[in-house]
Amino acid sequence: MQPSRSILLVESDEGCGRSLAVVLRRQGDRVHVARTRAQALQAARRRPYDLAVVDLFLRGGGAELARDLARSVPRLYLSLGARLEDGEILEAALGFPVCRKAALPGLLRSGASRPRRSAKKPARA
């Protein structure tokens, strides 16, 4: 068994945060759950953490919070629960459409406001 880690879990969904904390605690970790950006920053000021897990879609910006926490927490992970494709994750996180450079000429020529998505892949079992 690995040594106990101190984890800051930032998750706005109470049920999800509670469930994930239970799993991590069963693995021997010490977990503090914060539900908001303000709670997470306050927790990081009060004590050191070995790592933080931040919900990418946290209100106020999970990626921005992760950047702020990186000043005091040595390891960070961004998490998400939805089954999104890579491009969809980027669009959701950034708030803008994302496309490959090779697709730009066709996209700009057609005047489309959003890149076309390829057909959805079948869900994996």
95/44: higher pLDDT: 44
The C-alpha atoms of residue 33 and residue 17 are separated, in whole angstroms, by 7
Indicate if the pLDDT at residue 91 is higher than 50: yes
Tens digit of pLDDT for each residue in 19-46?
999 999 999 999 999 999 999 999 999 9
Question: Starting from the edge strand earliest in sequence, which strands make up the sheet with 30-34, in order?
Answer: 30-34, 6-10, 51-55, 75-79
CATH number for the region 6-79 comes to 3.40.50.2300
Q: Among residues of the chain, what percentage have pLDDT more than 70?
A: 84
Helix (H) or strand (E) holding 46: helix 37-46
User: Which CA distances in Å does 90 have to 18, 41, 57, 84, 87?
Assistant: 27, 24, 11, 10, 5
Which pLDDT score, from 0 to 100, does residue 106 have? 81
Which pLDDT score, from 0 to 100, does residue 1 have? 56
* Domains of the chain, residue spans: 6-79, 86-120
Which pLDDT score, from 0 to 100, does residue 86 have? 75
Token output for 83: 């089954």
State the residue for tokens 């920053």. Answer: 41
Supply the angle between the helices 37-46 and 62-69 in degrees, to the nearest 10. 10
